[in-house]
Amino acid sequence: MLRDLAENFRPVARPQLIENAYSEDQHQRLLQTVRGNGPWPLILAENFSSPEEVIATTSGEIPEGVELTWEMIGLNPVFRGYLARGGTCFYPELEDCYYNSRFLELVRNYWDCKYAEPETFLFNIQGPTPIGGPPHLDGTVFRGMTMENTPLWLLLTMAKSCLFRHWQAKKGQVIAWYYQGNIGGGFNCWPDGPSGEPMQINAPMWGRAVVVENERMFHHGQACGPVAERQPKGLDISSTFGADPRDPSGWQIETFGEVNQRIPAQEMRFLVHWGARLFRDMDELRTTYDHSDDIHAEMALNMLIDDMHKRGVSFDEPSDPMHDRKFIALLSQVYDIGGPANIPADATGEAA
């Protein structure tokens, strides 16, 4: 219903490409930490408690009377883990990667802001995989509402509605990739808005990274690996990705104690996502930390409900809007801003 709002989603500046984001020693420590502390859940299992929440963060309509299942959503075999959140690095051996002076300077310059603090450090890990779903926006945060106290679907709904820009945080990321495969594995993004031409960052992806604002830019990962191996059989919302005990450098996907797929190191795509929060000046920083201008979930939900009434949307107000699957499905339809239609073709490795 709000497709015209999609053109508002452009980053503060075009993505800036850098090489050698991490030293070889840092990369090896990152990999060792992931191997030694897995297995890791699907991104969907990490971030969502119902299929309706997934739709609320992307786009698409749910037919009336249909109750979604995970099978209807489709489970993309991309897995995730967190290495740090807020001021805390979970693994001391990675503290130099997280409290990263080079990255802090990059995002300060990208935003032309005086202050920055590390906020998020996570990774995605996968084997051969279809394209990373429809182009999407990353979860943002607002003064008073963050991933620590608010579900991702609500944060993204707030962002897509464009009703909450007053409270929205400035965020910047350094996103790096390590992928040795020969087919796909890059990154598509739309820095000029969803109707603009896509920008492609193509393999080889070995320490290549972008400085970017993914909360206001549609993007997704390219498909990677042999086509026949991109959708392992038997995948479930509980499936995990971890080290293959039979191969010192290999990986495996496992479900209910059974191995769905073994993945050689050559076909493993590893994305490392470092994120920071930016503050234009000391006044903006103080406003954030003295909580003098926060928003909270009840206020946000009431604003969304009021906005839907103004738009003439007919619905029964829920008693528990944070957990009402029907209400979440309604929000996903009302604030479906769409996204890019000009999606580059997948690399397949096969002759045209």
229 CB neighbour count, 10 Å cutoff: 15
Average pLDDT over residues 157-172: 96
Tens digit of each residue's pLDDT (9 = 90 or more) over 42-66: 998 875 655 555 555 555 555 555 5
Tokens of 54: 């997934």
Tens digit of each residue's pLDDT (9 = 90 or more) over 95-131: 999 999 999 999 999 999 999 999 999 999 999 999 9
Domain locations along the chain: 3-47+72-151+168-297
- According to the model, what pLDDT value does residue 60 have? 53
Average pLDDT over residues 27-41: 98
Side chain identity at residue 339, one-letter code: G
Three-state DSSP class for 220? strand
Name which of 109-118, 131-140, 168-177, 225-234 the model is least confident about.
131-140
- According to the model, what pLDDT value does residue 73 have? 55
Q: How many helices (H) and strands (E) does the chain have?
A: 10, 14
* pTM given for the model: 0.89
The pLDDT confidence band at residue 6, using thresholds 50, 70 and 90, is: confident
Report how far residue 29's alpha carbon sits from residue 232's, in angstroms, rounded to the nearest whole number.
28
In degrees and rounded to multiples of 5, residue 86 shows phi and psi of 60, -135
Average pLDDT over residues 144-163: 93
Q: Mean pLDDT of all residues in the chain? A: 91
Stretch (H or E) spanning 262: strand 258-263
Three-state DSSP class for 73? helix
What residues have CB less than 8 Å from 285, skipping those under 6 apart?
115, 279
What is the CATH code of the structural domain delimited by 3-47+72-151+168-297? 2.60.120.620
Report how far residue 227's alpha carbon sits from residue 179's, in angstroms, rounded to the nearest whole number.
16
Residue 273 pairs with which residues in a beta bridge? 122, 175
Tens digit of each residue's pLDDT (9 = 90 or more) over 282-335: 999 999 999 999 999 999 999 999 999 999 999 999 999 999 989 998 998 899
- According to the model, what pLDDT value does residue 71 have? 56
Asked whether the beta carbons of 113 and 164 are under 8 A apart, the reply is no
Average pLDDT over residues 148-159: 92
Tokens of 44: 């969907």
Q: What percent of the chain has pLDDT over 70?
A: 90
